[in-house]
Amino acid sequence: MNNLRRKTLAAASAVTLGAGLALTGGMSPAAAAGPETSYLVLAPQGNGTAKAAARVAAADGTVVAAYDKIGVLIVRSSAPDFTTRVAGAGVESVASTAGLGTALDEGETVEVPAAAVAAATGDPTAEPLYNLQWDMDQIRVPQAHAVSGGSPSVVVGVLDSGISSSHPDLASQIARDKSASCVGGVPNTAEAAWNPTTSDHGTHVAGTIAAAVNGVGVTGVAPGVKVAAVKVVNDDGYIFPEAAVCGFMWAAEHGIKLTNNSYYIDPWQLNCRNDARQRPVWKAVQRALRYSQSQGVLHVASAGNSNWDLAHKITDTGSPNNGTPEDRENLTNACLVLPAEAPGVVTVAAVGPTGEKSYYSSYGQGVIDVTAPGGDTRFRTRGAVSTSADGILSTTFNTATRTNGWGYKQGTSMSSPHAAGVAALALSAHPGMNPGQLSSFLERTAVAKSCPSGVYNPVPLIPAGPNAYDAACSGGNRNGFYGAGVVDAYNAVK
C-alpha cells in the first residue's frame, strides 16, 4: 500500500481482473509576458461579476468561465503582476491556482487474466462476480434490490477522473446528457472529454454506485439509477480548485441531485480558511457548494486515508503533495478537508470486511456522518501484507491497453460511493427529499456501531511501524469512528 498521507482520498490499492482520470488540464502555452496562469477571482457575493470582469480585462486577464450566481470568475493571465493589478472595486479576492492541484494516488494495479473472469460463476443477483462483493452483503444490497434497485430519474454525479462509456457494466448506466469534463473550470460535453485517459478511479467509483444487473461482472448498490461523469482531474492526476467549482455548479444546473466526491481540493490535505493564499479557494468552493445545495444537490465525500482524528488538532507533514512537504503543527478546525468537512456535505469513513474501522480511515467525533465499506486489505495479516480480495471489487479501465475489466481498490474513495449509492436508493424510494432531509434519512437508516475499547490498531505489523495507525474512538451510538453507523441499503428502501 502506498503512503496514505499523500495525495487524494483515492484508492490505496488495486487489482484488475480482465479487461484512468482526465481534465484537459495544465496551463496554456507561455505568453510573451510570462507563463499563463489560472486564477480564481471572487466578486462580492450578490453583486454579479461585471465589475470584476472589467477589472480582469484591464489587468490583461481573460475570463474563461463566469459563475455569476456565486460571484466567481475563472481567469487566465500571463501578466506577472495580475494579482496586484486586478485588485480594486468589484474584486473581493483573487488567488492563483498554480500549484494548487491535488494528484490522485492510484496505488498498485495488478492485472488478472480474463480467464479468471470467464470462470466466475453466478450468484443470487445473476452477476458472475457477485460472490466476491462482500461489501454488498455487508450493507444488505440483495435485500434492498428485492424492493428496489433505484429509479433512472435519479442521477449521481461522479466528480472524478471520468467514466468509461464503453464498459459493459456501465454503458447503459451513464447519463450522457448530464456528463462533462470540468478540467480548467470550463465544461466540455464531448464524450471523449469525460472518458478516462490516465486513471480508472472514476470508473471504479461509478461501478460501485450503479453497475448494471445484466449478467456481466458486478452489481452496483443502485443499478437502477444513472451516473453522470463529471471529470475534475487532469491527465497529470491533479484536481485544481476551478475544476471542483465547475463540477459543483454543473451538478446544480443539470438536475443532478447527488454527487460523489472521492478527493480533496488543494495540495494541502487540510485547507485553512485563515491562510491568506488558501482563503479565496476555500470561499469559492464554499459558494459553489452552498449554491448547489440550494438547488437540491446533496454532496457525499470521502473522509480521507490518513487515520487522522479530524475533530482535534492535527500535524500535517505530507502537504503540499506537489512540492516539498512542510511541517504544519497544531492545525485547528480553521483547517478542513474539502469538500468532506464543508457544511452540509455527508462525510464518509471506511470499514473493512469485519465491519470494523479500516486501519487507514480518518475519523472524528462530530465530523464523520456515516461509514461504509471501503476495504481493509491488511487486517488478516495484522498489517504484514495485503490481501487484495478484502478490497472493493468494481469496474475498471486499463489505460495502457484501453480495455475494460473489473478489479479491487481500497480507500475512503471506495466507501463514499457506497453511501452515495444508498442515498440514491433512498431518494428513489422516497422522492422529494431535499438535501438536508436526505442526509438525515441516510443517518437515521444507518446501523449504529459502538466504539472499540482502548487504543484501536488492527495492523501492528505494518511496515510503517507498530503504532503508525493507532486510533482512539469517542462517543456512544454516534461516535468518531462510525458516525451514525454503517449505511444500510435495505433500511433505505423498505
On whether residue 124 sits in a domain, the answer given is: yes
Residues 222 and 347 in one domain: yes
Residue 480 predicted with pLDDT over 90: yes
Residues 45 and 124 in one domain: no
Give the span between the Cα atoms of 465 and 462, in whole angstroms: 6
Residues 312 and 374 in one domain: yes
Residue 305 predicted with pLDDT over 50: yes
Residue 52 predicted with pLDDT over 90: yes
Q: Write the CB contacts of 373 (distance below 8 Å, at least 6 apart in sequence).
A: 134, 135, 138, 139, 350, 351, 352, 353, 392, 414, 415, 418
On whether residue 30 sits in a domain, the answer given is: no
Which of 68-72, 94-98, 293-297 shows the lowest mean pLDDT across its residues?
94-98
Residues 476 and 380 in one domain: yes
145 in active site: no
Q: Of 344, 348, 243, whose CA–CA distance to 296 is shortest?
A: 344
Residue 120 predicted with pLDDT over 80: no
On whether residue 7 sits in a domain, the answer given is: no
Q: What is the pLDDT of residues 187-239, one digit of tens each?
A: 999 999 999 999 999 999 999 999 999 999 999 999 999 999 999 998 888 88
Residue 111 predicted with pLDDT over 90: no
Give the span between the Cα atoms of 245 and 185, in whole angstroms: 7
- DSSP-derived 3-state class of residue 182: coil
How many other CB atoms sit within 10 Å of the CB of residue 370? 30
Residue 136 predicted with pLDDT over 70: yes
Q: What is the pLDDT of residues 375-403, one digit of tens each?
A: 999 999 999 988 888 999 999 999 999 99
Last residue of a domain, one of 73, 96, 119: 96
What does the pLDDT read at residue 23?
A: 26
Residues 80 and 183 in one domain: no
Residues 224 and 155 in one domain: yes
161 in active site: no
Q: Are 224 and 155 in contact (CB under 8 A)?
A: no
Indicate the DSSP class of residue 381: G
Residue 454 predicted with pLDDT over 80: yes
Locate 91 and state its grid cell.
474584486
Which of 295-299, 329-333, 428-432, 458-462 shows the lowest mean pLDDT across its residues?
329-333
What does the pLDDT read at residue 17?
A: 45
**DSSP states of 324-357:** --EEEEEE-TTEE-TTTTSTTPEEEEEE-TTSSB
Going by pLDDT thresholds of 50, 70 and 90, the confidence category of residue 268 is confident
Give the span between the Cα atoms of 290 and 334, in whole angstroms: 18
Q: Of 315, 269, 363, whose CA–CA distance to 8 is shortest?
A: 269
Query: What is the domain count for the chain?
Result: 2
Give the span between the Cα atoms of 439 and 437, in whole angstroms: 5
Mean pLDDT score across all residues of the chain: 88
Mean pLDDT, rounded, for 73-92 = 96
Angle formed by the axes of helices 435-444 and 412-429, nearest 10°: 110
What residue spans of 61-200 are helical by DSSP H? 82-86, 114-118, 134-138, 141-145, 191-194
Residues 382 and 489 in one domain: yes
CATH code where residue 159 lies: 3.40.50.200
What does the pLDDT read at residue 11?
A: 43
Q: What is the pLDDT of residues 167-192, one digit of tens each?
A: 999 999 999 999 999 999 999 999 99
Q: Compute the chain's Rg from CA coordinates.
A: 21
Mean pLDDT, rounded, for 146-169 = 97
Mean pLDDT, rounded, for 453-475 = 96
Per-residue CA distances from 340 to 37, 263, 270, 371, 429 (Å): 27, 9, 10, 13, 26
Residue 270 predicted with pLDDT over 70: yes
Q: Which of 413, 415, 416, 428 is catalytic?
A: 413
Q: Write the CB contacts of 119 (distance below 8 Å, at least 6 apart in sequence).
A: none
What does the pLDDT read at residue 61?
A: 97
Residues 329 and 189 in one domain: yes
Q: Which of 160, 200, 369, 390 is catalytic?
A: 160
Domain range enclosing 90: 37-96
On whether residue 31 sits in a domain, the answer given is: no
Q: Residue 287 burial (CB < 10 Å; 0-12/13-18/19+)?
A: buried
413 in active site: yes
Give the span between the Cα atoms of 296 and 358, in whole angstroms: 32
Last residue of a domain, one of 76, 96, 116: 96
Q: Write the CB contacts of 281 (distance below 8 Å, at least 6 apart in sequence).
A: 40, 95, 97, 100, 241, 265, 266, 271
> Model pTM?
0.90
What does the pLDDT read at residue 33?
A: 60
On whether residue 27 sits in a domain, the answer given is: no
Report percent pLDDT > 90 for the chain. Answer: 73
Residue 16 predicted with pLDDT over 80: no
Q: Of 456, 454, 431, 451, whose CA–CA distance to 441 is shortest?
A: 431
Indicate the DSSP class of residue 208: H
User: Locate cell 490498531: which residue?
Assistant: 457
Residue 107 predicted with pLDDT over 70: no
What does the pLDDT read at residue 3?
A: 31
Give the span between the Cα atoms of 375 and 10, in whole angstroms: 12
What does the pLDDT read at residue 21?
A: 26
On whether residue 262 sits in a domain, the answer given is: yes
Residues 288 and 238 in one domain: yes
Going by pLDDT thresholds of 50, 70 and 90, the confidence category of residue 137 is very high
Q: Which of 161, 181, 199, 201 is catalytic?
A: 201
What does the pLDDT read at residue 121?
A: 63
Residues 233 and 125 in one domain: yes
Mean pLDDT, rounded, for 295-313 = 94
Report percent pLDDT > 70 for the chain. Answer: 87
